[in-house]
Structures are given as C-alpha cells and as structure tokens.
Amino acid sequence: MKRLSSLILTCALVATACSQAPKSDEPSPEDGWRKLGYVIEIDTPEGLKVGRSVVAERTTCEKNFPQGSICDAEVQGEAAIVDLPDGTTLYAALTGNGFGDHPVAPRNAWEIDEEGNATEQYKRDSLPDLLMFTQPSVPSSLIQIDPEKPFGDGYTVKRAYVERDLDPNTPVTRRIMDKLPWLSDWSGNFLNGSKLTRRSGPVPEQYGTGSLLMTGQY
C-alpha cells in the first residue's frame, strides 16, 4: 500500500511538472499566428545572394460597441539578412516601425499583374530600405544603401518579395542577435540613442530597432 501511494504521488508530481513546463517562445498557429517569408535577392560578382527571414503576424480584435471592434496587429520577426562576398552584411529593413504601415507588406508596394491583381513582389520604386553598419558593434554607424547603386560594379538588387501562407509551424528566424548582440539591451528609441526622430535627419536618427527586429505591436 505504501509503495502504491508513493507511485501515485510520483505520477501526480510528474503531471504537475509537465503542466507547468514553460511554453515555447515560438509563435504558434494555435494562438492565431501565421507565417510570412520576407526575401531579398542581390546579384553579386560571386553570384546571387539571398536574404530570407520568416516573420510571424497576427491580428486580434475585441468588440467595442457601439463603435465596432478594436484590433491589435502584432509582428515577431527580423530584417532579411544578406551576407555579401566582401564580408559585410546587408539588412532589408522591416518597414512601418510605428508609422502605420505593415512591417513587411506596406500599402501600394506591390507589382500589379496584367489582370490588375497585386503580386507578392515589391515594385522597383518601393523596395525595402537597405541598411548596413560600417561598424557592426556601433549602432550609430548605420548607413542606408541606394538600391539602384548598391555597392559598386557587379552588384544589383534583383528583387524583393513576400512568401505568403508558409507552413504555420515554420520557425521564425532568429539570426540578427548573433549579428547585432547590442540589440538585446538597446535603450534608445532610435539608433543614434535619441528618443525622437527627424525623418530628414542623419540616417541613424531615422531608424529604430523596430526596423531590424520586431517583437510585438506595430
């Protein structure tokens, strides 16, 4: 009888421990998340280089009568990262960054096909912002790259596009913290350390960490 009681207690403790195990941080379809691929292709002297990130998004709405519903949009993901032949790293920025547009699907960004439907490819004049750090450990060394004159002879931006309806269990990519570890404890809103932005100011003053990494509402 004592052995049976011990066995029952052990099973109960195991069940409790299992039920209290921490959940994965991976956004899951059970919680309403869907996955997108965010891709940019660069032609280089050594061939095509591709940056691709998997981004999770979800929208949750609550009824708010008589006005209707209030919806919150969330994104978890990072910029598409391209490792170039010269050893530098290019980041195709997440857009929006608090300015209203979807981070990877901004309004009016898509090419239109012959039937008048939006495709999943960005227009040439609506490509994602291309960013680079001249000193990766220094946030204020951020520069913006002209997509029409990216890096010199032999380099061109081929295209940027979004892959929709990925397998919902595809994991969100998490490379950027290895490239830019200072992101984990960055305290400034913008990459020059400022709390305010000037859209016509220096490049580090125009971009915040949300251009590189998003973990919540936008």
How many other C-beta atoms are found inside a 10 Å radius of the C-beta of residue 207? Answer: 21
- What does the pLDDT look like over 115-139, one tens digit per residue? 766 678 888 888 888 999 999 999 8
With pLDDT > 90 as the criterion, what percentage of the chain qualifies?
A: 27
Residue 28, CA distances (Å) to 5, 37, 56, 57, 61 in order: 38, 16, 9, 10, 18
| Least confident piece of the model among 39-48, 84-93, 163-172 | 163-172
pTM over 0.75: yes
What 3-state class would DSSP assign to 143?
strand
Confidence of residue 206 (pLDDT cuts 50, 70, 90): confident
Ordered strands of the 118-122 beta sheet: 110-112, 118-122, 156-163, 34-44, 47-64, 68-78, 213-217
What does pLDDT average to over the chain?
A: 76
The answer, yes or no, to whether residue 97 has pLDDT greater than 50, is no
Taking the C-alpha atoms of residue 174 and residue 169, their distance in angstroms, rounded to an integer, is: 15
More confident residue, 29 or 85: 85
- What does the pLDDT look like over 66-77, one tens digit per residue? 666 677 778 889
The answer, yes or no, to whether residue 94 has pLDDT greater than 80, is yes
DSSP string of 149-215? S-SSTT-EEEEEEEE-S--TTPPPP--HHHH-GGGGG--SSBTTS-SS--TTS-HHHH-BGGGTEEE
